[in-house]
């Protein structure tokens, strides 16, 4: 990663921005902000179910799939998945293309709005291109279709509205209306920003306030009709139709004080804090490699943009009160962008999946901050440096976000390969239960898609063969009624369904610092892991490792991931698999090989499988030595060590006296 970063930096240092056309600057900005780590990022969140559906069910499946949720979004997915294969790299590259188009489209749109202020159009477009409040760019399969493409349509609709004003051509108005339809109907995210068109129109018309309002309303009226039509559609779908997404809650639970508090919070986050949050995030660990690379990219971007903006910005361009105008447009634009998610009662938190709602506040946040700078910074020698600094911080924030998703992709690789090592094949109809996985950007529904991709690579439309469920979230609901035997499990996965039973489960556990393991009631795991959350330990009696096919000619291979280096978790998962078939010599061989390479576990419970293998093959001394070393490292492993030795005692009556001594030495209760 560092090598690619340095190569791109050296390339940038040899570029003279003042000689470059604006579209090329937009392309380079897109690469700096979003493209540096593209080869190391992949699928996240809903990307996996969407990619699985595109791969196995075909693009046409998206139309019935979205019918109960966002019926006008299905055609967007259908179109893009018809020419972009379900491969992570292709979607990340497609994301760069869409981002570049958004930047250029914003530039073109704002040039139609402010024809006599080209520098404002350029700056507003740069701010939108790197807008740091929105971190979901790398969830590309989902958010390109769900948000970025409809947003692109809406943005161009604004541009054609103003082009129609200047050209007086009805065709441009028709194009603007069609683009509005394509932007507002696929998703409710952009319902509020239609008001921004009114604000922009009012800001450019001249005359008395009454005259300006009359002209604005006359121009805006066709768009208002479509807005009203969309509102009626949303009300129907929320109240009477099949819409099953979010419920309108704000009118029931929000007070005037709540609205005021949320409004101030939205303005603060979209207009100010989002732009500087990278400093707070990196200063937490300033010497970490990711922080140092982020700092370096910020400095590089500043050095690139400062000279460019010095030549691109012309002094005394337009009216002096444009800053105040931008602020007065930006503030309501932020609030209008917040309206749909606020109505759904959803929070606005940065650096989380909820910052996807910032997409509809992007224009308002960018215009607001630009207005503040235009209003407060009148020195044309200083202004380019401040603007370059803002853009550089936005680029740095997006690179910081990219690195988070890079780490998540690497974590996914480790998880799926450990699954493959430990569970080389699974009986169809298996439910994989766990309370949660130690990863931030995937849910059980997210995991279900790649698990089916791995274990059923030749799937054709039928019942879903495999399902992962988080007991923490699902217990007591319709999907997982109770953690008891023979409970039916039904899970609707858009247009296909899973039918199973709690007695057809494999329970897994993966600590944040440790290896994936299959929990087995026959191995004493109820006692060993009794300190874990009850929603996990209560599931252990349901675990049936016999559903794992240990002796298989065709071992699963995780899609898109190269096999990681064989370190401790490889040897541990293979040892657990050998324990399943009682091949204790193989366990000892794996342990010896790992030790010879210097590998040791982080979680001392991972020694238990090796302790048991040595003890059951008669090497009590080695088993006792490993037990003592594990206890010295972490006293909390005592419960597991005692349970393991009791299992050995039950199978080795000959060495009963010696085992009693060992149990006593380790302070194991009878």
Over the stretch 468-498, which tens digit does the pLDDT of each residue have? Answer: 999 988 988 778 889 999 999 999 998 999 9
Percent of all residues in the chain with a pLDDT value above 70, rounded to a whole number: 93
Q: Which of 51-55, 271-275, 559-563, 651-655 has the lowest mean pLDDT?
A: 651-655
Q: Strand, helix or coil at 484?
A: coil
pLDDT digits (tens, 9 = 90+) for 327-378: 999 999 999 999 888 887 888 888 888 889 999 999 999 999 999 999 998 8
**Residues 317, 119 contacting (CB under 8 angstroms):** yes
Helix (H) or strand (E) holding 283: helix 274-283
pLDDT for position 640: 92
Using 50, 70 and 90 to split pLDDT, how confident is the model at 241? low
Specify the pTM.
0.90
pLDDT exceeds 50 at position 10: yes
| pLDDT digits 0-9 by tens, 449-458 | 999 999 999 9
Compute the distance between CA of residue 178 and CA of residue 645 in angstroms, rounded to an integer.
Answer: 73
pLDDT band at 1 (very low <50, low <70, confident <90, very high): low
Token pair, residue 414, equals 């480790």
Mean pLDDT of 380-398: 94
If DSSP codes are grouped into helix, strand and coil, which group holds residue 57? coil
Check residue 553 and give its pLDDT: 75
> How many angstroms from the chain centroid is the CA of residue 126?
24
Considering only 90-99, 236-245, 517-526, 598-607, which range has the smallest mean pLDDT? 236-245
Q: How far apart are CA 12 and CA 17, in angstroms?
A: 9
Q: Quickly count helices (H) and strands (E) in the chain.
A: 29, 6
Is residue 552 predicted with pLDDT exceeding 80?
A: no
Question: What is the model's pLDDT at position 380?
Answer: 81
* Residue 483, C-beta contacts closer than 8 angstroms, at least 6 positions apart: 471, 475, 502, 535, 538, 539, 542
Return left, alpha or beta for 582; rule: phi > 0 is left, psi -120 to 50 is alpha, else beta.
left
The whole-number average pLDDT for the span 445-465 is 94
Given pLDDT bands bounded at 50, 70 and 90, which one contains residue 20?
confident
CA atoms of 503 and 212, how far apart (whole Å):
70
Whether residue 292 has pLDDT greater than 70? yes
User: Residue 416: what pLDDT?
Assistant: 96
426/380: higher pLDDT: 426
- How does residue 653 score in pLDDT terms, banded at 50, 70 and 90? low
Task: Give the pLDDT mean for 28-45.
Answer: 95
Give the β-pairing of 488-493 and 430-434.
Answer: unpaired
| pLDDT in the model for residue 13 | 47
**3-state SS, residue 518:** strand
Per-residue confidence band for 249, with pLDDT thresholds at 50, 70 and 90: very low
- Mean pLDDT taken over the chain: 90
pLDDT digits (tens, 9 = 90+) for 313-327: 765 554 568 899 999
Residue 362: which of 201, 583, 158 has the closest Cα? Answer: 158
Contact 181, 222 (CB under 8 A): no
Whole-angstrom Cα distance, residue 420 to residue 246?
Answer: 36
Q: By the 8 A CB rule, do 103 and 97 touch?
A: no
Between CA 631 and CA 385 the distance in angstroms is: 59
**Residue 251: C-alpha distances to residues 118, 262, 337, 343, 451 (Å):** 42, 14, 17, 7, 41
Confidence of residue 246 (pLDDT cuts 50, 70, 90): very low
Please check whether residue 490 is in contact with residue 474, taking contact to mean a CB–CB distance below 8 angstroms: no
Q: Which of 108, 130, 233, 258 is nearest to 181 (CA)?
A: 233
pLDDT of 38 > 90? The answer is yes
Query: How does residue 630 score in pLDDT terms, banded at 50, 70 and 90?
Result: very high
């Amino acid at each position: 990663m560092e090598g690619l970063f340095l190569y791109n930096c050296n390339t940038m240092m040899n570029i003279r921005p003042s000689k470059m056309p604006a579209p090329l600057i937009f392309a380079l900005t897109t690469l700096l902000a979003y493209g540096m780590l593209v080869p190391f990022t992949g699928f996240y969140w809903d990307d996996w179910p969407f990619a699985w559906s595109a791969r196995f069910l075909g693009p046409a499946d998206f139309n019935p799939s979205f019918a109960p949720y966002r019926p006008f979004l299905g055609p967007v997915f259908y179109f893009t998945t018809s020419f972009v294969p379900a491969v992570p790299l292709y979607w990340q590259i497609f994301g760069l293309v869409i981002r570049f188009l958004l930047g250029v489209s914003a530039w073109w749109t704002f040039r139609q709005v402010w024809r006599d202020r080209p520098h404002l159009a350029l700056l507003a477009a740069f701010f939108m291109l790197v807008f740091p409040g929105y971190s979901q760019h790398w969830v590309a399969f989902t958010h390109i279709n769900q948000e970025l493409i409809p947003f692109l349509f809406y943005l161009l609709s604004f541009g054609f509205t103003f082009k129609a004003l200047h050209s007086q051509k009805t065709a441009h108005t028709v194009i603007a209306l069609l683009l509005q339809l394509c932007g507002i109907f696929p998703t409710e995210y952009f319902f509020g920003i239609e008001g921004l068109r009114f604000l922009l129109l009012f800001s450019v018309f001249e005359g008395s306030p009454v005259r300006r309002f009359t002209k604005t309303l006359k121009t805006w009226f066709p768009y208002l009709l479509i807005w009203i039509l969309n509102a009626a559609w949303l009300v129907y779908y929320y109240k009477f139709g099949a819409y099953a997404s979010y419920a309108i809650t704000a009118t029931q639970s929000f007070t005037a004080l709540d609205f005021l508090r949320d409004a101030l919070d939205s303005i603060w986050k979209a207009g100010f804090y989002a732009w500087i949050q990278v400093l707070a995030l990196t200063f937490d660990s300033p010497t970490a490699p990711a922080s140092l690379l982020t700092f370096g990219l910020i400095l590089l971007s500043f050095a690139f943009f400062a000279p460019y903006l010095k030549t691109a910005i012309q002094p005394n361009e337009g009216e002096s009160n444009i800053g105040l105008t931008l602020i007065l447009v930006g503030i309501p634009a932020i609030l209008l962008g917040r309206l749909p998610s606020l109505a759904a009662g959803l929070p606005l938190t940065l650096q989380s999946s909820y910052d996807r709602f910032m997409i509809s506040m992007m224009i308002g946040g960018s215009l607001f901050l630009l207005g503040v700078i235009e209003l407060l910074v009148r020195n044309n020698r200083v202004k380019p440096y401040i603007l370059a600094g803002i853009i550089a911080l936005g680029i740095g924030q997006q690179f910081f976000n990219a690195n988070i998703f890079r780490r998540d992709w690497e974590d996914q690789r480790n998880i799926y390969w450990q699954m493959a090592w430990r569970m080389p094949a699974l009986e169809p109809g298996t439910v994989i239960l766990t309370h949660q996985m130690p990863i931030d950007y995937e849910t059980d529904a997210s995991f279900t898609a790649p698990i089916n991709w791995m274990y059923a690579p030749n799937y054709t439309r039928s019942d879903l063969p495999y399902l992962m469920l988080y007991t923490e979230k699902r217990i007591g609901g319709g999907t997982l009624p109770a953690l008891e035997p023979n409970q039916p499990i039904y899970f609707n996965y858009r247009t296909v369904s899973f039918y199973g039973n709690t007695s057809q489960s494999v329970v897994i556990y993966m600590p944040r610092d440790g290896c994936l393991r299959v929990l087995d009631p026959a191995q004493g795991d109820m006692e060993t892991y009794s300190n874990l959350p009850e929603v996990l330990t209560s599931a252990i009696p349901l675990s049936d490792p016999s559903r794992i096919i240990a002796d298989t000619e065709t071992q699963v291979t995780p899609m898109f991931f190269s096999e990681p280096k064989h370190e401790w978790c490889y040897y541990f998962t293979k040892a657990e698999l050998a324990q399943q078939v009682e091949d204790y010599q193989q366990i000892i061989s794996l342990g010896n090989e790992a030790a010879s390479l210097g590998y040791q576990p982080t979680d001392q419970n991972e020694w238990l499988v090796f302790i048991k293998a040595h003890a059951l093959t008669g090497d009590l001394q080695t088993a006792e030595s490993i037990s003592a070393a594990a206890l010295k490292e972490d006293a909390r492993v005592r419960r597991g060590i005692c349970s393991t030795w009791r299992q050995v005692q039950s199978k080795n009556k000959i060495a009963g006296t010696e085992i009693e001594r060992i149990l006593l030495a380790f302070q194991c209760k009878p």
